[in-house]
């Protein structure tokens, strides 16, 4: 499962033959907004009408297009996250930096009427326990509240996610519709763990779900897609020791979460 955030900064990109590169210098994330459920994702948000930039970060990406229809990419991010807020921490936190490092790899194949994508992300956060301690001590339930709605939670010291999806254009086999409309039948499987490592990992097993999805994407024209999908989100109990889900000894720690979604999306340019 991939996360997206928006930050102010500078970006430099270009392409040399089959290689595309990009480098960014941007404002850092705010560790006060990290949570057990979403790890560092909320760190790009702000409870104020502006964003604090006491810390900075760097990101880089490299993509290769040597094989027709295939893109393979790697990327990385590094920055400090502690003290990127209005309130200055006390002297007892002088050694806390909250260094965040993220590495990722992904690929996409668009060929032979197929779209296939895969991705893997891994992140490491230093001083996770100290940041958890500070955030809870300065949460909205504390007398020193600052309006941030996210903290008062423990966070992990590392997280990871991976996903694989594939879709095939069924209309490519119908001569009258080929190239005019598209109907993709697709499937997706993904897993993420926002408490992969950390002191409080055992208390947050619901932060490591699996999700299976099947659905269709219908494109009546290039700029519009009608999406319908069924998803099944579930959890695995590490104490089951390989027992089958049909076994009477199998323990389901959390309820499964089936869902059905129907939506319409469009793409347009506003000049």
Q: What is the pTM of this model?
A: 0.85
pLDDT tens, the chain, 271 aa long? 445 667 778 999 999 999 999 999 998 898 888 888 889 988 887 766 777 788 899 999 999 999 999 999 999 999 999 988 777 787 888 889 999 999 999 999 999 999 999 999 999 999 999 988 888 777 654 444 445 555 567 899 999 999 999 999 999 999 999 989 999 999 999 999 999 998 888 778 788 899 999 999 999 998 999 999 999 999 876 556 666 666 665 556 678 889 999 999 998 776 6
**DSSP string covering 213-245, please?**
EEEEEEEEETTEEEEEEEEEEE---GGGTT--T
Point out which residues pair with 213 in neighbouring strands: 188, 231
| Contact criterion met (CB below 8 Å) for 106 and 70 | no
The C-alpha atoms of residue 104 and residue 176 are separated, in whole angstroms, by 41
Q: Can you give 45-109 as a three-state secondary structure string?
A: CCCCCCCCCCCEEEEEEEEECCCCCEEEEEEEEEEECCCCCCCCCCHHHCCCCCEEEEEEEEEEE
- Please state whether beta strands 19-27 and 182-197 pair in parallel, antiparallel, or not at all (unpaired): unpaired
Give the integer Cα–Cα distance in Å for 94 and 83. 10
Mapping DSSP to helix (H, G, I), strand (E, B) and coil, where does residue 128 land?
helix
User: Which of helix, strand or coil describes residue 171?
Assistant: helix
Q: What are the backbone angles phi and psi of residue 240, rounded to the nearest 5°?
A: -80, -15
9-266 adopts what CATH topology? Porin (2.40.160)
In sequence order, which residues have a C-beta less than 8 Å from that of residue 93 and are 6 or more positions away?
82, 130, 134
Residue-range domain boundaries for the chain: 9-266
Q: How many Å apart are CA 171 and CA 28, to the nearest integer?
A: 45
In angstroms, the CA 1 to CA 35 distance is 16
Backbone φ and ψ of 232, nearest 5°: -130, 110
| Residues 185, 212: Cα–Cα separation, whole Å | 14
């Amino acid at each position: 499962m991939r996360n997206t955030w928006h930050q102010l900064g500078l970006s430099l990109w270009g392409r040399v033959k089959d290689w595309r590169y990009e480098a960014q210098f941007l404002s850092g994330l705010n560790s006060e907004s990290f949570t057990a459920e979403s790890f560092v994702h909320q760190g790009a948000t702000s409870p104020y009408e502006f964003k604090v930039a006491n810390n900075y970060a760097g990101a880089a990406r490299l993509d290769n297009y040597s094989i027709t229809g295939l893109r393979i990419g790697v990327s990385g991010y590094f920055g400090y996250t502690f003290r990127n807020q209005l309130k200055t921490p006390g002297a007892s936190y002088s050694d806390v930096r909250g260094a965040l490092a993220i590495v990722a790899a992904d690929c996409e194949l668009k060929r032979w009427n197929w779209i296939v994508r895969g991705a893997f992300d891994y992140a490491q956060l230093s001083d996770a326990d100290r940041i958890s301690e500070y955030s809870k001590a300065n949460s909205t339930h504390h007398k020193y509240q600052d309006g941030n709605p996210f903290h008062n939670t423990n966070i992990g010291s590392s997280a990871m996610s991976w996903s694989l999806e594939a879709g095939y254009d069924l209309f490519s086999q119908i001569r009258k519709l080929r190239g005019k409309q598209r109907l993709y039948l697709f499937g997706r499987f993904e897993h993420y763990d926002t408490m992969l490592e950390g002191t409080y990992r055992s208390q947050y097993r619901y932060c490591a779900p699996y999700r299976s999805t099947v659905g269709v994407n219908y494109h009546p024209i290039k700029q519009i897609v009608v999406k319908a999908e069924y998803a099944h989100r579930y959890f695995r109990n590490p104490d089951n020791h390989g027992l089958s889900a049909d076994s009477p000894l199998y323990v389901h720690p959390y309820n499964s979460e089936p869902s059905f979604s129907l939506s319409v999306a469009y793409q347009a340019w506003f000049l």
